Structure 1
Amino acid sequence: MKNALNNQLQDLYQTDSYLWLQKTVELLKAEDFRHLDLDGLIEELESWGRSQFNQARIRLRQIIIHLLLWEYWEQEYERNCRHWQSEIIAFRDDLIHELTASLQNKLILQLDSIYHVAVSFVIKKTGLSKSIFPANCPYNFEQLLDDNWYPNHQLS
């Protein structure tokens, strides 16, 4: 019986992940751990963890992109500064609400890498020279999340 139910769940995982999830939750609530598709459950939990980190990384990258636009894109500053600020507010709020201590630590470790992707995006979007941007992220993590902090606008 155990093997047949496990095989059914494993097959279901491949064909209908939503139904697989519902059946897995039922088994967990019933504390029927012997019939769980452990391989599928482990795969889903790992995927969920990667997804959480990726969403946090995307939000942090968007904050950095908009701070860079705010600080360096003089040509569009007057027309877009309020839009950039509103985007920064929204991304900060989203990130703060999903941030855990371990996600924060991982983001801090990858801050310069995330910054370099943001710089590449801003360069492509604006045509600005790479040479105007600092080699490493000029913003610390606390500044990136602080609702009241914005860099000075760089005027030519």
Structure 2
Amino acid sequence: METRLYEEDFFTWTYQQSNLLRQRQFDQLDVAHLVEELEDLGNRHYDQLESRLTQLIAHLLKWQVQHWRRSNSWRASIRVQRTGIDKLLRRNPGLKSRVEEAMIESWLEARDLAIAETDLPDENFPKNCPYSWQEVTNPEFWPDPKKIV
């Protein structure tokens, strides 16, 4: 029964499962799907961290590589992503153990995004991420155009 409902009406399934939990009717729970959904929920927070890092690093690259086009919009985007990352990590401190992994996983996408948005050749951008986690999340860090690797 639970499996069919899970596949056909996820919304109703979630309410049914939460009611069963509230009523402590553990023997009636769809445990396999609950485990899957809990893991997925945790992964969504990691995905949000990675997405915010991608946007942040892309804008830092643009700030550094295309410095003559700096704008308040870029500055705001950098600040918004830093604030969002800080809030996400405060609310989900367990993600802190995965920040280096997220930096690595977001780098190529961030680089590609910056290349596309600046319309500059690939060669203008470093092959490896030039920023550390500490720099990326530091509100005082603004990349110097003279130090591009």
8 Å CA contact 2:115–2:122 kept in 1: the answer is yes
Q: Does residue 110 of structure 2 align to residue 118 of structure 1?
A: yes
Query: Who wins on radius of gyration, i.e. which is larger?
Result: 1
From 120, 141, 151, the equivalent of 2:133 is 141
In the TM superposition, structure 1's runs of 4+ consecutive aligned residues that sit over 6 Å from their partners are none
State the 1:10 CA deviation: 1.9
Q: Does residue 128 of structure 2 align to residue 151 of structure 1?
A: no
Gaps of 5+ in 1: 1-6
Q: Deviations over 1:83-134 (max 9, x none)?
A: 1110111111111111244423323024233112111111122221222222
What's the C-alpha RMSD, in Å, of the aligned pairs? 1.8
CA–CA distance in 1 between the matches of 2:50 and 2:135? 16
Q: Deviations over 1:15-40 (max 9, x none)?
A: 22111111111111122111000111
The within-5 A match list for 1:69-148 is 69-77=62-70, 80=71, 82-99=72-89, 100-148=92-140
Residue aligning to 2:36:
43
Gaps of 5+ in 2: none
Amino acid corresponding to residue 51 of structure 1 in structure 2: R
Q: TM-score w.r.t. structure 2 length?
A: 0.87
From 17, 42, 52, the equivalent of 2:45 is 52
CA–CA distance in 2 between the matches of 1:16 and 1:41? 14
From 7, 19, 25, the equivalent of 1:26 is 19
Amino acid corresponding to residue 125 of structure 2 in structure 1: F
Q: Deviations over 1:15-73 (max 9, x none)?
A: 22111111111111122111000111012112112211111100011100111111111
CA–CA distance in 2 between the matches of 1:133 and 1:101? 32
8 Å CA contact 1:112–1:136 kept in 2: the answer is no
